[in-house]
């Protein structure tokens, strides 16, 4: 049977998972900008896995018998503070990525409308005097 992870180990795993999540977000943003749609989908799945891992580690830390050390031990308290800052940065990057995706979708919709509008203009007919019917 494997020994339970210490609070310090769980905290480090959480920090590592948030780092990996942040890298994945940067790759996602790059893929969005470069219009690598299949890569965006792949990275979205990867991010979902990281999010699950982060949630599980957070739950393990909350339920750990030694979780009071996260507040009582100055070194661990500092690590908790750094992890919280990582989380804020990940959330901010998520918001940026979401805005970029929304902007991209809006641009696609505008392009679609322009194409449809031009297609309708091309289907117009004219009478003998050159007037639109």
Please state, in angstroms and as integers, the Cα–Cα distance from residue 76 to each residue in 7, 57, 87, following that order: 9, 15, 16
Question: Phi, psi (5° rounding) for residue 126?
Answer: -125, 150
**pLDDT tens per residue, range 93-105:** 999 999 998 988 8
Measured over the CA atoms of residue 79, residue 82, residue 86 and residue 92, the dihedral's sign is positive
What span, in angstroms and rounded, lies between the C-alpha atoms of 10 and 60?
8
Please state, in angstroms and as integers, the Cα–Cα distance from residue 117 to each residue in 43, 106, 114, 125, following that order: 35, 16, 5, 15
**pLDDT tens per residue, range 22-34:** 999 999 999 988 9
């Amino acid at each position: 049977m494997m020994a339970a992870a210490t609070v310090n180990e769980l905290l480090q795993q959480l920090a590592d998972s948030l780092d990996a999540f942040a890298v994945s977000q940067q790759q996602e943003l790059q893929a969005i900008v470069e219009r690598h749609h299949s890569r965006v989908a792949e990275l979205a799945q990867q991010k979902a896995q990281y999010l699950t891992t982060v949630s599980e580690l957070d739950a393990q830390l909350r339920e750990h018998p030694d979780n009071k050390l996260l507040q009582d031990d100055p070194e661990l308290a500092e690590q908790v503070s750094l992890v919280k800052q990582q989380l804020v940065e990940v959330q901010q990057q998520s918001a940026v990525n979401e805005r970029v995706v929304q902007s991209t979708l809006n641009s696609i919709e505008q392009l679609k409308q322009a194409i449809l509008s031009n297609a309708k203009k091309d289907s117009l007919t004219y009478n003998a005097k050159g007037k639109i019917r």
